[in-house]
Each structure stands twice: as structure tokens, then as C-alpha cells.
Chains A and B, each alone.
Chain A
């Protein structure tokens, strides 16, 4: 179980997160929304352990989030085309942390022929699936999907979620779905939280 207790963070005097608390239980699909600038991606980085909060704690199974990477919480960033090295082949991207899991590749319809290609040779939807697949490590228990289908058309987005949610459920992984799309969150999530917009000056 992942929990955040009164997490606060400010950048250069500007408060971005103020006493945010949440819990995610295994296998749960949690929706996270909030207006632009409310700190959704910052919260994702704090929860995944790549950014330390100024105050409050992030707990994994009741104790502090492990310091080593890759940890139990993975943050799938927005804009897959920026999140992959354009000089790497798809095969190398997929095998960055560990050899790719054939079950994940099959579920996300990633074709072996792509292994030799470069990111520029894939479509947006294909690249989004490749970027996503690398975070399915044996250690990953919570996957934070940060607007991962925002730049896809409706059909490609639907295909991705229809592949991703059963795969996560099957592996007992929890999902945190960050999205501006209220209909999508309603369809996917069992519970939703909203981050309030922050006042400009702290």
C-alpha cells in the first residue's frame, strides 16, 4: 500500500503541494485530477521518489519509500516522444532497466519488428505503448500514468487503456490515472481525488 501523509512542496517560494494526503491500495485504480498547475505531475514525482517533499512523508507498506531506483512506484511521464532517447532503438528502450516481459509486450501489442526501429519511425500510439512498457518491472507495484493518452486520438487512447487496465489488474498493480478527461476517469477509476489550484503566492 502506498500512502502520502501531509506532503508539502514549494519551488522557489511558490507552494506547489500543500498537505496532500492519499492512499492507494493494491490493484486499485485511482483518478487524479486538478486544473493545470495544480501540482499533479509534481505529486507524481514525489510519489515515485524522484523528488523529495519539503514536509510530510511518502510511505510504502508502512515504511519510508525505498531510496534505490527502480522502486515500487513508477511514474510514466507525459509526452512519450520526449521520454525516449531519439538515438536509441526501440529494443534498447524497452530493455533499459531489465529485459522486457513478453507478456507485457504481447498485451500492449508491441511487435518484435519494432526492436530495430527508432522512435521517429513509430506512430504516437505505438510510442506511447513502448514508453509505458518499460515501467512494467517485476518490482513495480504502482504505476502513475501522467496524461499518457492526452496526445492520442480517441481510438488509440481507448485501445491503450483497454490493454493497460487488465494487464495491471492481472499483475495486482495499482494505477494512478492523471487525466483532464472526466469521462475517462469515470470509466476507469474506482475512486477519484482532485488537487485544488494553488494560490499564486505562498
Chain B
């Protein structure tokens, strides 16, 4: 029974989880980077309109088929995924960052708590999509309009969770013990507070990402989001309603599958990250 046996072994336990985390992180990076890289290699103007190749089903020349304007759906899908991934990531990062700052600020400062409380009531009290529309419009529409529209309106749920969790941990007996054992506030924030908050932050981030992409579709559909000449998953899916009626299933299927793969791999990554942060969980 030596010191080493008690202090070194807990580190070893984390390594299988860390390995799983790295593996899935690499997978997600690949899934995310692929459409962006492929889209970068495509001509900048996007696939050309071609009257001779209208509504072709999938073939060797057009693996994802073509749309009603004769554009190659493979090229459009990858370009669209690149736009949607960027919109989703930026909106999720903005919204999560706001939630962390405002949630922790509210937990630490009474006046800030009052202000954040009012902002939260406003954001949750108004119809959700109306607020997204207003902010997106005010931000000038386009990709950044969607990012700000979603990012500035989706922090309250996560910030409330973080505020509550931070207050609970700060008042916990085990924090009082660490303080009595001589641990300074920053050490307590890093070793007690952060491990309790991180899973909530990850869960919030992972949930906002696909949500942001769906809002992009909604905003683009009513003309406040991505302009129709730019491909985006939202634009393609809203256009594909008519194509599906005409039996042109491929126009919706492949971009939809692409979105699903991106969203699912992101969730898988988030789940692994959450488990790595919560050592009580076993390795998947």
C-alpha cells in the first residue's frame, strides 16, 4: 500500500476512454472536413444549369442524379453540406459560448443574475422562430444572419442549466472540504466545477448543432437565410418538396442522408466526450 498505487492508477483508467475519444474525434473531423474539402475543389460558380440533363436519376455520370434545372446533385450536395456544417458549427459555438458566460456570470453575480433572468424570460417567452427571424433579418440575412439568428437566441436553456449546476457545486460539502484543505478558488473551479459543468456544455453544444441546420432550412425557405442561388441543405430540402411529388426522390434523399450522417457522427462524438468527462461511465 504505497502512495504510488493510490495516485498513479486513477490516470490509467482514463486512457481507454481517451483513445475512444481520439478515434471518434478523428472520424468526426473527417466527416466534417470531407464536404468542405470536396466543395473547395468544385468550381466556384457551382454546378451549371443544363437543360439537357434535367431530372436524371442517379447514374455513373451523376451519382446523386440531377435536379429540375439539370444541375449535378452530388456537387450541389457537397457544397450544401459545407455551408450547413459551417452554419451549424458557428451558431452552436456562439450559442454555447454565450450560455457559458451568462450562466456562470449569473451564478457568481447577483445583479448579472437579475439581468440574465430577464433576458432568459424574454428569449423563452417569445415565439422561438419569430425571434430567430428578427435577429437574422437585423443581421442582414445570409449565412451570418442564420448564425446570429440561431446563436443569439438559443443560449437560455443551457445557461439556466449551467447556472443551477454551478450554484449546486459551489455550495457542496466537498467544495467546503477542499477549501478547508487549503485549495484556492481557481483550483476548485478547475477540479470540482469544470468536471461537473463540462458534460452539460457538451450536451448543449451537440443539441444546438442539428437544430441550427434545421433553422437554416426554415430561414432559407422564407427567404431570410441562405440566398437560393447558393446551395445549402435547407434550400435543397425545401426545393425538393416539389421534386418528390414528381417522383424525383434522389433530389431529397442524398442531401438528407448527408445531413443525417454529419448530425449523427457529431452526436456520437458528443456522447463520447460526455463519457470521457464523467469517469463513472464505462467505455462504450
Nearest opposing residue in chain B for A80, CB measure: B173
B182 touches A70 (CB 8 A): yes
Interface size of A by CB at 8 A reads 36
Give the CA-CA distance A10 to B191 in the complex, in Å: 33
Q: What are the residues of chain B within 8 A of A134 when measuring CB–CB?
A: 177, 181
Nearest opposing residue in chain B for A82, CB measure: B173
Q: Does A50 contact B (CB under 8 A)?
A: yes
8 Å CB contact of A77 from B5, B173, B195:
B173
Pick 22 A–B contacts, CB within 8 A, sort by A: A50-B180, A69-B182, A83-B174, A85-B174, A87-B195, A87-B196, A87-B279, A92-B10, A94-B6, A95-B3, A97-B182, A99-B7, A100-B3, A102-B2, A105-B1, A112-B1, A115-B6, A115-B9, A116-B10, A120-B280, A134-B177, A134-B181
Q: What are the residues of chain A within 8 A of B10 when measuring CB–CB?
A: 89, 91-92, 115-116
Q: What are the residues of chain A within 8 A of B7 when measuring CB–CB?
A: 91-92, 95, 99, 115
Q: Does B192 contact A (CB under 8 A)?
A: yes
Q: What are the residues of chain A within 8 A of B13 when measuring CB–CB?
A: 89, 116
Task: Known A105-B6, A112-B5; judge A48-B180 contact (CB<8 A).
Answer: yes
Give the CA-CA distance A102 to B1 in the complex, in Å: 6
8 Å CB contact of A83 from B2, B6, B177:
B177
Q: Does B23 contact A (CB under 8 A)?
A: no
Nearest opposing residue in chain B for A86, CB measure: B280
Task: Known A48-B180, A102-B1; judge A82-B9 contact (CB<8 A).
Answer: no
Q: What are the residues of chain A within 8 A of B176 when measuring CB–CB?
A: 50, 77, 83
Nearest opposing residue in chain A for B198, CB measure: A87
8 Å CB contact of B192 from A48, A70, A85, A89:
A85
Q: What are the residues of chain B within 8 A of A48 when measuring CB–CB?
A: 180
Chain B contact residues, CB within 8 Å of chain A:
1-3, 5-7, 9-10, 12-13, 172-174, 176-183, 191-192, 195-196, 278-280
Q: What are the residues of chain B within 8 A of A79 when measuring CB–CB?
A: 173
B3 touches A99 (CB 8 A): yes
Q: What are the residues of chain B within 8 A of A74 when measuring CB–CB?
A: 180
Taking the closest CB of chain B, its distance from the CB of A11, in whole angstroms, is 15
**Which 10 pairs across A and B sit closest by C-beta, in order of nearness?**
A97-B181, A89-B10, A69-B182, A82-B173, A99-B3, A112-B5, A91-B6, A83-B173, A115-B6, A91-B10
Give the CA-CA distance A74 to B180 in the complex, in Å: 8
Q: Does A188 contact B (CB under 8 A)?
A: no
5 further A-B contacts with Cβ under 8 Å, apart from A102-B1, A116-B13, are A70-B180, A82-B173, A91-B7, A92-B7, A95-B3
B1 touches A106 (CB 8 A): yes
Give the CA-CA distance A195 to B93 in the complex, in Å: 56
Give the CA-CA distance A69 to B173 in the complex, in Å: 16
Q: What are the residues of chain A within 8 A of B192 when measuring CB–CB?
A: 85
Q: What are the residues of chain A within 8 A of B181 when measuring CB–CB?
A: 69-70, 96-97, 134, 137
Q: What are the residues of chain A within 8 A of B9 when measuring CB–CB?
A: 91, 112, 115-116
Give the CA-CA distance A100 to B5 in the complex, in Å: 11
